[in-house]
Amino acid sequence: MKQFRLPVISLPKLALPAAVQAVLEEADVNLAHRPKLLRLFNNCFPNTLQTAVKLMDDGTTFILTGDIPAMWLRDSVEQVIHYVPLAKNDPALQRIIGGLIKRHMACIRIDPYANAFNESANDWHWNAEDKTDMGPWVWERKFELDSICFSIRLAYMYWKETGLTDIFDAGFKETMRIILDLWRTEQRHLELSPYRFTRDIEIPTETLYNDGLGMPVNYTGMIWSGFRPSDDACDFHYNIPANMFAAAVLGQMCEIAEWVFRDLAFVQELRKLEADVRHGIELYGIYRHPEFGPIYAYETDGFGNYCLMDDAGTPGLLSIPYLGFTSKDDPIYQNTRRFALSAANPYYYEGKVASGIGSPHTPPQYIWHMALSMQGLTASTDEEKLAMIAVLESTDGDTGFMHEGFHADDPSVYTRDWFVWSNSLFAQLVHGAMKDGLL
């Protein structure tokens, strides 16, 4: 297998925008009594800007995922999402975030099935021998339903926060049409989809079975996905958290189509697909668990088979309120949350120093910092939120940064030194707690 993995790229260091500097100054005061937490926040909050951002000559923004020289649609959104509330009166942040949105729309128009893209049409690929319709802009072409959802989420939140509409040009509307057509095609994947993906590798989660078509599914109204947010192949190809995300995003697209583009016919098409997806989730995505009651499954095939687990990545079951699909106090979500944070979830680990959700993407007993941050962001009580911050503070392995997974017995044993998304999600949690007066 030919992988094209470069050494860590050093990007020109940006001057921190004034709004970001102001947050760091507030932290110096509010977190002075917790010097380790202050160090973590001062490292993690600006980490994207200091290590991963490149402003392009065409007015777009390219953001590295960190230790891989490519831009994941999903990761790059979550790497900047904590800056969106600061962007209204900060032109520097508007340039960065607005440029990223424009870059995403261009990438989706190049290949809506791809999950990660190159800085230029340099023909670099994670695996040059993948059997799929690869192009020179595409780093990896795993179709993950959630990837495009993140792109729209960022545009919608940026619009709502700043009131700026310059991102909504003709290219943006064309991209929304591509997304709608793609998702309608993938509602009937086996009959209509041109997408195939196989990778000649011994790791089974890196490829799709059935000659790259994926395992059989029944029509449900939901949207098919080849891979999970972890970049691992789905067991059953209706990923419920990703479809929840798509439903929420379709509602956001309806608002954009109605209030920006004034296209009511397009609104009706979007609403129809949203209704299909929501109906499918309610009919096929709920499992009657003997211990927890009705819970949302992680995946299903529409034939009555379910994958009951939760993964640390977003979107996951824990992150359902974060995605905007339902509220924290929704009874089925609360049942699902209790399941995800219990031994019934095969990827929930308990150790000497921490307990939390890991992933089949990393070894057993490795808890993800992102899952702990998401547990805090979706907590119903201040006490749970503060408890998660304390666990995160104590499990950085004395590095001053968050990581991917760390061993539940020893946080000095971890994966990924430079994982910017994890740093950003932690910073979002801590900044929120600061704004709420909890720290």
pLDDT at 6 over 80: no
- Residue 232's SS3 state is coil
Long-range pairs of 384-393 with CB within 8 A, sequence gap ≥ 24: 385/429, 385/433, 385/438, 386/433, 386/438, 386/439, 388/429, 389/37, 389/429, 389/430, 389/433, 389/439, 391/354, 391/356, 392/40, 392/426, 392/429, 393/34, 393/36, 393/37, 393/40
pLDDT bucket at 11, cuts 50 / 70 / 90: low
Secondary structure (3-state) at 242: helix
Over the stretch 333-357, which tens digit does the pLDDT of each residue have? Answer: 999 999 999 999 999 999 999 999 9
Side chain identity at residue 271, one-letter code = R
* 35 upstream amide cis, omega within 30 of 0: no
CA angle 29, 85, 178 (to 5 degrees): 150
Task: Give the list of residues 6+ apart from residue 330 with CB closer than 8 angstroms, or none.
Answer: 320, 321
Residue ranges per structural domain of the chain: 48-346
Confidence of residue 92 (pLDDT cuts 50, 70, 90): very high
Q: What is the pLDDT of residue 370?
A: 97
Q: How many CB atoms lie within 10 A of CB 237?
A: 27
What percentage of the chain exceeds 90 in pLDDT? 94
Local confidence band at 111 (pLDDT 50, 70, 90 cut-offs) = very high
Say yes or no to pLDDT of 372 above 50.
yes
Q: How far apart are CA 274 and CA 269, in angstroms?
A: 9
Sign of the dihedral defined by the CA atoms of residues 190, 193, 198, 203, in that order: negative
Please list the helix, strand and coil fractions of the chain in percent, rounded to the nearest 5, in that order.
45, 10, 45
Candidates 403, 338, 350, 411; CA nearest to 375 is: 338
Question: Could you tell me the sign of the dihedral formed by the alpha carbons of 389, 394, 395, 396, in that order?
Answer: positive
Phi/psi class of residue 437: alpha, beta or left (left: φ > 0; alpha: ψ in -120 to 50)?
left
pLDDT at 5 > cutoff 70: no
Q: How confident is the model at residue 203 (pLDDT cuts 50, 70, 90)?
A: confident
Query: Does 84 score more than 90 pLDDT?
Result: yes
Residue 69: predicted pLDDT: 87
Q: Which residue has the higher pLDDT, 65 or 40?
A: 40
What is the reported pTM?
0.96
Q: 285-303 pLDDT, tens per residue?
A: 999 999 999 999 999 999 9
CATH C-level class of 48-346: mainly alpha
Which amino acid appears at position 157 of this protein?
Answer: M
Query: What pLDDT, on the 0 to 100 scale, is given for residue 3?
Result: 39
Mean pLDDT within 132-150: 97
Long-range contacts of 392-396, Cβ-Cβ distance < 8 Å, separation of 24 or more? 392/40, 392/426, 392/429, 393/34, 393/36, 393/37, 393/40, 394/353, 394/354, 395/353, 395/354, 395/367, 395/369, 396/40
Identify the pLDDT of residue 13.
74
The predicted pLDDT at position 8 comes to 47
What average pLDDT does the segment 205-217 reach?
96
Q: What is the pLDDT of residues 314-330, one digit of tens each?
A: 999 999 999 999 999 99
The conformation of residue 198, written as its DSSP 8-state character, comes to B
Per-residue pLDDT at 36 exceeds 60? yes
Checking if the pLDDT of 1 tops 60, the result is no
pLDDT over 70 percentage in the chain: 97
The chain-wide mean pLDDT, for the chain, equals 96
Q: How far is CA 269 from the centre of its chain?
A: 25
